[in-house]
A and B are shown apart, each in its own frame.
Chain A
Amino acid sequence: MALNKTLRPGLIQLRVLDLDKTLSFYKDILGLNEVGRTADGRVMLKGYDEFDHHSVTLRLADSAGFDSAAFKVDSHETLEQIRSAAQAFGYAVDEVPPNTDQPGFGKRYGFKLCTGHRLEVYCDVEPARQRPMIKNPDLWGDEPPRGMRVQRLDHFLLFGPGISEAERFCTEVLGMFVPEICNTPDGKRLATWITSSNKPHDLAFVEYPEPGKIHHIGFFLQDWNDVGAAADLIGKNRLKLDIGPTRHAITRGMTIYFWEPSGNRIETYAGGYTAYPDNPQRVWDTDSLGRGLFYYSGELIDSFLQIVT
């Protein structure tokens, strides 16, 4: 049972500069499965342990970065409730009809946050053809997980202006909660980690002057061993490493950050604490953020703070 009526981030669409090279990274190295292509040539992908039609769409464009992300909710009733709550919040809501730009997906409602990001909600989505087994299930089906063996989309970190409003939208409209925050010395929100489930974060925001930016997309790995195996593949394939393998104190995840061929930052992430909405919120001061992000070194690195797409 989900903790909230909003279930999880079920879909993200990213812009890429070189579709063939970048797709080959997502398939052969990260280990996502290709689901198919849209009529306009975008590529749909999913993790081997995901049940729904697809979770990642890549769009060839003249810039890299974030197009949109969509959250799955538990019912039509919730979907309609979110639509009116978003309007009451003051955001315009548009409707994307079923099976149009995202094949397999039912009706979606979309809104643009003050941070410049488009978020959507949906409740219906067709099952994927390749699904995890459910009857006396093996760990995986006919085909063993490939490459870094990512199981599923986990979370994403967005950069933009006005994140306290975005945080309020996620809690008031989407019914999520905020296990962890970081404030500036004068008490303004610098970063916020937000979830609708037991995961420590489904999405996160960092305050940033330019709208619509993405810092990274996080994919879930089984454990610390798989974090190490992913690092081996970063070396072998000459991918550009940002930092890791290391440990977050924030979320407590085990992690590596690196860039895919179009310059979007990817995180392969395992672990994380169990979040409950009734637990007290964890609060970070800006001067402790180094330890919060990179627990072993305790030091922030410029590339991690400065590079976004």
Chain B
Amino acid sequence: MGGAGRAEKFAVRVAGTGEQFACGEDEFVLDAMMRARSGPVRHGCCGGGCGVCKMKVERGSVFAAKRMSRAHVSEEEQREGIVLLCCVQPRGDLLLSPARHRTRENA
């Protein structure tokens, strides 16, 4: 496996699918999901800009190491646990569920 080996690994599950994969605490959840070929998102810009990796964190906590586009995650959604998986790293085991996609008119 890649990574320093010192970083802790957490279990990420996708609600209603039985799918599960491991994600290091220094790793973006989307990278781990794509590597495991598990979960609903199989591609993305990986920069927080396109919104295709939008999901809800039902259980567990994440750290947003990159800025998420407000066109895809509003402040209110963010308070409800909605994230862009390419921007966040796990801080514990996670349970994810789908989030509704919307785009704000660009300002």
Residues of A within 8 A of B (CB): 15, 17-18, 62-66, 116, 210-212, 240, 259-265, 301-303, 306-309
Contact = CB atoms under 8 A, between A and B. Distances in A.
Nearest to B106: A212
User: Which secondary structure dominates where chain A touches chain B?
Assistant: loop
B60 interface: no
A210 B47 contact: no
A262 B42 contact: no
A264 B69 CA distance: 12
B67 interface: yes
Contact of B47 (A66, A260, A306): A260
25 contacts: A15-B106, A17-B48, A62-B67, A62-B69, A63-B49, A63-B69, A63-B107, A64-B47, A64-B71, A240-B46, A259-B46, A259-B47, A260-B47, A262-B49, A263-B45, A264-B45, A301-B43, A302-B42, A303-B42, A306-B43, A307-B43, A307-B50, A309-B45, A309-B49, A309-B69
Nearest to A308: B50
Contacts of A212: 105-106
Could you say which interface size class chain B belongs to? Answer: 20 to 34
B47 A262 contact: yes
Contacts of A309: 45, 49-50, 69
Nearest to B71: A63
B47 A303 contact: no
Contacts of B70: 62-63
User: Which secondary structure dominates where chain B touches chain A?
Assistant: loop
B49 to A, nearest CB: 2
Contacts of A260: 47
Given A17-B66, A63-B69, A64-B69, A211 B45 contact: no
A270 B71 CA distance: 32
B84 to A, nearest CB: 9
B81 interface: no
B94 to A, nearest CB: 22
Residue from the set A64, A66, A264, A265 with the largest chain B CB neighbour count within 10 Å: A64
A12 to B, nearest CB: 15
Given A306-B52, A307-B50, A240 B45 contact: yes
A18 B103 contact: no
Contacts of B66: 17-18
A303 B71 contact: no
Nearest to B50: A307
B45 to A, nearest CB: 4
A210 B49 contact: no
Nearest to B87: A17
B44 interface: yes
Contact of A263 (B42, B48, B105): B48
B67 A303 contact: no
A62 B71 CA distance: 8
Contacts of B106: 15, 63, 65-66, 116, 212
Nearest to A240: B46
B104 interface: yes
Give me the 5 closest cross-chain CB pairs, A-B, nearest first.
A263-B49, A64-B49, A263-B47, A263-B45, A303-B43
Contacts of A301: 43
A261 B47 contact: yes
